[in-house]
Structure 1
Amino acid sequence: MRIESLEFKSGVYAIRNTRNGKTYIGSSVNLASRIKSHASRMRNGVSKNRYLQADWDSHGPEAFSVEVLVYCLPEHCVSYEQQCFNAFRPEYNISPNAGSQTGWSPTTEHAKAHSNRMLKLWSDPVFREKVRAKYRSPVVTDEYRTKVSEGLRQHWQDHGDARRLAMKSRRKSKVASRRNGSPELSEFRSVLSRSLWEVRAYREKVESAFDAARSDPEVQKKRLETLASESHKAKLKVNAKALWSDPEYRAKNCKFTDEQITAMRLAKRSGAKLKELASEYGISVPQVSAICTGRQYHWVLMPADK
């Protein structure tokens, strides 16, 4: 898993020690930034979790792996993290409560060791210069800007169509991956959602949000405007047409078969009265008219089109 692919994604993650099977679970609104922070702190020996730091020093970075347990909205991170705490019982987590430092207090030895490590780190001129360079504003000349602009313009002229197609394909695959995910992840999300819905306070919060939306005049006004818009009506029409074009859906929901519709249209073309056909098939006269003119059962070809 590439850490860059998690940029600005929120969710719950796990850091696993493959040597002893111990786990650390956390959550963040930016998974990439949080995981990079863990790795940087442990490499420099200044991790806030002394147990995780001790095993990192003993086993080395190659003994640790990172896994995203669930993606979720930022406001749900703590709730999902607590559910993961209850399900996996992570050994490295000092606090039993998600989103809280309750249960963790640094010892005198840990605080002193942390202070010594930071003093040693900041006494290194190379480290200080590295930090200053990170926050120093880069010097960008007009010549450099012109060179970059010309290079980008030439690149998009030569490879623009291929790049746009590749970017569009990647966006579609990312959307599909976030929507579907792996079967294991989908099952895990389902279990977490069910357990979350069993909490009465969560249900009351969701129901109160829905009630507030129903009673909000602005929300209802926007809803009515959306329903009355031509784009929404066109979308509903397209969706309905696609749905009724599915043979399996028609078999479950249609009153007549395609053969009966063809026979009805042929009878009308031969001179049968609408009232007679309505009596024969047990439907109303307007329905017979809609079927014979193709406004209903549009997927069945008219006799003249066969």
Structure 2
Amino acid sequence: MFSVRNLLKVRAYSTYISKDNSYSSNVHITPSVVYEDAYSMKKAILKENKGKAGIYMLTNKLTCDIYVGQSIDLRKRFMKYFSLSYINSRKELIISRALIKYGYSNFSVTILEYCNESDLDVKEQYYFDKLNPQYNIQKIAGGSSKGLKLSEETKSKISKSLKGVYAGEKAY
């Protein structure tokens, strides 16, 4: 396992300040594991995180922008990120567009914390509040739609856009 206790004190004590002043020297986090190159360390990332729940962070090494997420099985989540067809189908997500634009080798993967499934929302919200990740659209823990209230107009548009999709009209 790749440990960061001695490896990345620089990141934990960074004085980098992003465009929106979200990551300053006041942030002190000691992550569980850091994989400096998502591309070359793919096998280790998948092997070491099988069946583990936790909070993770993807960091663009060129822009220093970050994405924070949670998963009940980190390996399964990372397998999705490493699937080009998956991220191409999720281009509405800023992190997907960034992975396509900059490439996996320009991202590091950090396991901020391994935790129980029941603690995921609380822990993710803690890191949202502490790090203010630029790639996250919503900064409400628990998934992309949790806490999101859709207007009746939006619900209607979604419904109309899906009409016939599963009935064969626009079947894939």
**TM > 0.5 fold call:** yes
Q: Counterpart in 1 of 2:78?
A: 35
- In the alignment, is the contact (CA less than 8 A) between 1:42 and 1:53 conserved in 2? no
> 120, 126, 129: which is aligned to 1:83?
126
> 4, 16, 28: which is aligned to 2:59?
16
Which structure features the higher share of helix residues?
Answer: 1
The separation in 2 between residues aligned to 1:21 and 1:104, in whole angstroms, is 31
- SS of the aligned residue for 1:68 comes to strand
The separation in 2 between residues aligned to 1:55 and 1:69, in whole angstroms, is 20
> 99, 102, 111: which is aligned to 1:68?
111
Q: Once the two structures are superposed, what CA deviation does each residue of 1:95-142 show, in whole Å capped at 9, x if it has no partner?
A: 12000424598999xx9xxx9xxxxxx6xxxxxxxxxxxxxxxxxxxx
- In the alignment, is the contact (CA less than 8 A) between 1:49 and 1:94 conserved in 2? no
The separation in 2 between residues aligned to 1:64 and 1:54, in whole angstroms, is 13
Task: Please show how residues 156-305 of structure 1 align to structure 2 within 5 Å.
Answer: none
- SS of the aligned residue for 1:27 comes to strand
The structural deviation recorded for 1:48 is 5.8
**Bigger relative contact order, structure 1 or 2 (CA pairs below 8 A, ≥6 apart):** 2
Q: Counterpart in 2 of 1:25?
A: 68
Number of residue-to-residue matches in the alignment: 111
- SS of the aligned residue for 1:98 comes to coil
Q: 1:88 corresponds to which letter in structure 2? A: L
- Cα gap change, 1:86/1:8 in structure 2, threshold over 3 Å: closer, same or farther? same
The structural deviation recorded for 1:49 is 4.7
Q: Counterpart in 1 of 2:48?
A: 5
The structural deviation recorded for 1:66 is 1.0
- In the alignment, is the contact (CA less than 8 A) between 2:58 and 2:108 conserved in 1? yes
TM-score by length of 2: 0.55
- Cα gap change, 1:44/1:27 in structure 2, threshold over 3 Å: closer, same or farther? closer
TM-score by length of 1: 0.32
Q: 2:63 corresponds to which letter in structure 1? A: N
Q: Counterpart in 2 of 1:51?
A: 94
Q: Once the two structures are superposed, what CA deviation does each residue of 1:15-45 show, in whole Å capped at 9, x if it has no partner?
A: 1111111111111111111111122156651
Identity of aligned residues (%): 24
**Rg larger in 1 or in 2?**
1
**Residue 95 in structure 1 maps to residue 138 in structure 2:** yes
The separation in 1 between residues aligned to 2:53 and 2:96, in whole angstroms, is 24
- In the alignment, is the contact (CA less than 8 A) between 2:81 and 2:87 conserved in 1? no
Moved over 2 A (4+): 41-44, 47-50, 102-108
Task: Please show how residues 103-114 of structure 1 align to structure 2 within 5 Å.
Answer: 103=148
The separation in 2 between residues aligned to 1:73 and 1:7, in whole angstroms, is 14
- In the alignment, is the contact (CA less than 8 A) between 2:87 and 2:96 conserved in 1? no
> Unmatched 5+ residue regions in structure 2?
1-34, 36-43, 166-171
> Unmatched 5+ residue regions in structure 1?
116-121, 123-306
- In the alignment, is the contact (CA less than 8 A) between 1:17 and 1:65 conserved in 2? yes
- In the alignment, is the contact (CA less than 8 A) between 2:56 and 2:70 conserved in 1? yes
